[in-house]
Amino acid sequence: MSEPPERDLGTLIEKRSIDYVPLAERHGKVWHLWPVWFSGDAHLATLAVGVLGVALGGNLLWSALAVILGCALGTFFMAFHSTQGPQLGLPQMIQSRPQFGYAGALLVWVVALIAFIGFNAFNDVLCAQALHQLSPAIATDSVTAIAVFSLAAASLAAVGYDKIHLAQRGFAYLMIAILTVFSVGALFTLKFPAAQFRFSDFRPVPFLAQLFAAASYQLSWSIYVSDYSRYLPRDVGTRESFWWTYLGAFIGGTWMMLVGTVAAAAFPKRDVAAAMQAAADGVVHGLGDIVLIGSLLGLVTISALNFYGASLTLLSVADTLRPLRCTTGKRLASVVAATVASTALALMSSGDFINRFGDFLSLLLYLFTPWTAINLVDFYWVRKCHYSISEIFNPRGMYGRWNWRGLLAYGVGFVAMIPFFSIGEFFQGPVARALGGADIAMLVGLPVAAGVYVLACRSMDLEQDRQRAIAADLTLDA
- pLDDT tens digits for the chain (478 residues)? 444 444 444 468 899 999 999 999 999 999 999 999 999 998 888 888 899 899 889 999 999 999 999 999 999 999 999 999 999 999 999 999 999 999 999 988 988 888 888 888 888 888 888 888 888 888 877 889 999 999 999 999 999 999 999 999 999 999 999 999 999 999 888 888 888 899 988 998 899 889 988 998 898 889 899 999 999 999 998 899 999 999 999 999 999 999 999 999 988 878 777 888 888 998 888 898 998 899 889 889 999 999 999 999 999 999 998 888 888 899 999 999 999 999 998 888 755 655 566 677 678 778 889 999 999 999 999 999 999 999 999 999 999 999 999 999 999 999 999 999 888 777 889 998 887 777 788 889 999 999 999 999 999 999 999 999 999 999 888 7
The pLDDT, as a whole number, for residue 357 is 65
The pLDDT, as a whole number, for residue 5 is 43
Q: Are 138 and 131 in contact (CB under 8 A)?
A: yes
- DSSP letter at 382? I
Query: 3-class DSSP state for residue 317?
Result: helix
Count CB-CB contacts under 10 A for residue 191. 7
The pLDDT, as a whole number, for residue 354 is 52
Q: Are 71 and 362 in contact (CB under 8 A)?
A: no
For residues 449 and 5, give the distance between their C-alpha atoms in angstroms, rounded to a whole number. 37
The pLDDT, as a whole number, for residue 355 is 57
Burial of 147 (0-12, 13-18, 19+ CB in 10 A): middle
Q: Are 58 and 206 in contact (CB under 8 A)?
A: yes
Residue type, 4: P
The pLDDT, as a whole number, for residue 350 is 59
Q: Are 229 and 33 in contact (CB under 8 A)?
A: yes
For residues 167 and 429, give the distance between their C-alpha atoms in angstroms, rounded to a whole number. 43
Query: 3-class DSSP state for residue 422?
Result: strand
Q: Are 387 and 470 in contact (CB under 8 A)?
A: no
Phi then psi for 415, rounded to 5 degrees?
-60, -35
Residue type, 134: L
Cβ-proximal residues to 32 (8 Å cutoff; 6+ apart), any chain: 165, 169, 244
What pTM, to 2 d.p., does this model score? Answer: 0.90
For residues 409 and 377, give the distance between their C-alpha atoms in angstroms, rounded to a whole number. 11
Phi then psi for 427, rounded to 5 degrees?
-160, 140
Cβ-proximal residues to 132 (8 Å cutoff; 6+ apart), any chain: 138, 139, 140, 142, 273
Q: Are 89 and 20 in contact (CB under 8 A)?
A: yes
- DSSP letter at 431? H
Residue of 257, 246, 275 lying closest to 179 (CA atoms):
257
Q: Are 469 and 395 in contact (CB under 8 A)?
A: no
Which residue segments constitute the domains of the chain, with CATH numbers given?
A: 23-472 (1.10.4160.10)
The pLDDT, as a whole number, for residue 426 is 78
For residues 248 and 51, give the distance between their C-alpha atoms in angstroms, rounded to a whole number. 21
